[in-house]
Structure 1
């Protein structure tokens, strides 16, 4: 999943937004939120200009206009306010991180786009209202409040915006970034997360393929694999990492990463087992998403336990501070 820019708010507003968090004790393993920047150094959402590619045309928007759309698109609005606030901060940070790194090749004339395959899922207020039905007014109020509650605030590591990765749910432990991507980031380590079968829809899922379907998909990526004979003999040497996700396994004599298997067969996560039988090859999967960073369903449970959005951020991102965006 994963590059771009973030003016002045009054002292009164600064105190209202950030005064209380200054007094909050940081959760174990985290740091207390950083002291906000001086008022003249802060960048509020209304002062952050974005060029947005909506798939058809370029649109000029402020962060204040764009951010509600991705909060609507990425987290259920039925979630608790503090979870939605944490999501708004993660989204804002994610945007600022990518803006700082330069525009993507997929949209070189735009800072961000509205595609979840490239940037983040974006849902307009009108489309969300149609989906939410009689809850539309309540849910839109919560989304807008999440953006206002956290106006201009991002997650920082060594003073720079982090890659604020998030996912839907994990199997008790989030993934270390190095287990999923090419390198480990110091603020994206595995942490315990409280969600489970009772709190997450479709927490367990099964994806089944006939032997013929499995062969076609796997051989297209690994033509040298031997997928002859009994499918039960195709799978060997499955290893898992500390977060319970498949690290490597051998399929038809070829060693592959669990993340690749997930991608090839469109599995909901890399936390899976493999069974073979009369129905073919069955992947039994737990959780949803790459597993790195904030678990959204975990954030919801932490919010229900009384955690603030700041505490949720520090729960999932190690050794970070929270402060206003500054170019």
Structure 2
């Protein structure tokens, strides 16, 4: 089904099913259902039933999925009576397709996008945060998952469940507040020129969000740096220390690391590229890659060395692009609406409503 947008006033929303890979490339997998469930073949034929509240182990066996007395390249487990499905070690809404791949089993949770967001809001922001902040996160997360699905989805699944996509941990992350925020914004997305935007978000920026091209390669008119309001974030200021040996182990390729020097910084002080110098040469590294290699909270930091130790002092948590969650929290606490929060962090965008294309 193709999608278009109803701009402006909010109307009926589109029911949309996502395929979320919640386990990938495992040898075996525990599955179950809160209610009696049907087991179906790849083509949808009913193979049998499994009883409620019992655990079953699916195994990768001889190039097929083996579950109890059933086998196939793919097997469905579909709870009846609006039950929940157990996958791995968590409960999920919807149903599960277990697929045999080259490297093992992949479990794909088929779930309505709104039910998916019940969990994402709790995992990404927190189930007790202010309602307007959670509403802003709901619209951003709904937009982001649809953008990711269009860009990276494949024949087996639309999106994954980790931080590359956005964190989804099933029903354990849901709360009454995440339900309220999702339902209050049902079907709403952010658009630019009639397309769903890449609504990236992060924990806190350290005082000012970033133009996207300062962190990644492609400039986008809606991902512009703006003042942030995240001073209450626990990561607004941070400090990390590394021994010379640890830096050498993590960075490599230049011999023993003797220094890290800013090469290019964004207008807001975020490290765009840095020069890593060692006893065997030097190399240039992107700030975001350096952040990942060292496990830092952000690329907004300075480096001081003394003896065999390096001290990195920084601000913020995450890439610094798009919505700042701690900034959104502060604005919500000050009485700003989710629409105002979204228009601050995502410039040149419109709030739109998903609906089937006529």
Matched, 1:320 2:349: yes
Q: How many residues are treated as equivalent by the alignment?
A: 269
**Aligned partners of 1:319 and 1:216: how far apart in 2?**
44
Specify the alignment match of 1:36 in structure 2.
Answer: 9
Bigger Rg, which one = 2
* Structure 1 residue 255: Cα displacement: 2.6
Specify the alignment match of 2:260 in structure 1.
Answer: 235
**Aligned partners of 1:146 and 1:300: how far apart in 2?**
14
Specify the alignment match of 2:240 in structure 1.
Answer: 207
Deviations 1:242-283 (A, max 9, x none): 122112222213232222211211110000111112461121
Residues 112 and 249 (structure 1), Cα distance of their counterparts in 2 relative to 1, 3 Å cut:
closer
Contact kept in structure 2, 1:86 and 1:309, CA below 8 Å: yes
Q: Which has the higher strand share?
A: 2
Query: Please, which of 23, 34, 54 is the counterpart of residue 22 of structure 2?
Result: 54
Specify the alignment match of 2:134 in structure 1.
Answer: 84
**Aligned partners of 1:226 and 1:86: how far apart in 2?**
47
Alpha carbon RMSD of aligned pairs, Å? 2.3
Specify the alignment match of 1:69 in structure 2.
Answer: 119
Note the residue ranges of structure 2 that are not aligned, 5 or more in a row. 24-105
Deviations 1:46-71 (A, max 9, x none): x1111222115122211122111111
Aligned runs of 1:1-327 on 2, under 5 Å? Answer: 34-36=7-9, 39=11, 42-44=12-14, 47-55=15-23, 56-101=106-151, 103-104=153-154, 108-116=155-163, 118-125=164-171, 127-128=172-173, 140-196=175-231, 199-219=232-252, 223=253, 225=254, 227=256, 231=258, 234-252=259-277, 253-278=282-307, 280-326=309-355
**Aligned partners of 2:211 and 2:148: how far apart in 1?**
20
TM-score normalised by the chain length of structure 1: 0.76
Q: Which has the higher helix share?
A: 1
Residues 272 and 148 (structure 1), Cα distance of their counterparts in 2 relative to 1, 3 Å cut:
same
Note the residue ranges of structure 1 that are not aligned, 5 or more in a row. 8-32, 130-139
* Structure 1 residue 124: Cα displacement: 2.6
**Aligned partners of 2:217 and 2:173: how far apart in 1?**
36
Query: What secondary structure does 1:87 align onto?
Result: helix
Larger RCO: Structure 1 or Structure 2 (Cα < 8 Å, ≥ 6 residues apart)? 1
Residues 278 and 93 (structure 1), Cα distance of their counterparts in 2 relative to 1, 3 Å cut:
same
**Aligned partners of 1:193 and 1:274: how far apart in 2?**
24
* Structure 1 residue 128: Cα displacement: 3.4
TM-score normalised by the chain length of structure 2: 0.70
* Structure 1 residue 179: Cα displacement: 0.7
**Aligned partners of 1:64 and 1:323: how far apart in 2?**
16
Residues 148 and 237 (structure 1), Cα distance of their counterparts in 2 relative to 1, 3 Å cut:
closer
Residues 227 and 255 (structure 1), Cα distance of their counterparts in 2 relative to 1, 3 Å cut:
same
**Aligned partners of 1:254 and 1:98: how far apart in 2?**
32
* Structure 1 residue 303: Cα displacement: 0.8
Query: What secondary structure does 2:273 align onto?
Result: strand
Contact kept in structure 2, 1:5 and 1:48, CA below 8 Å: no
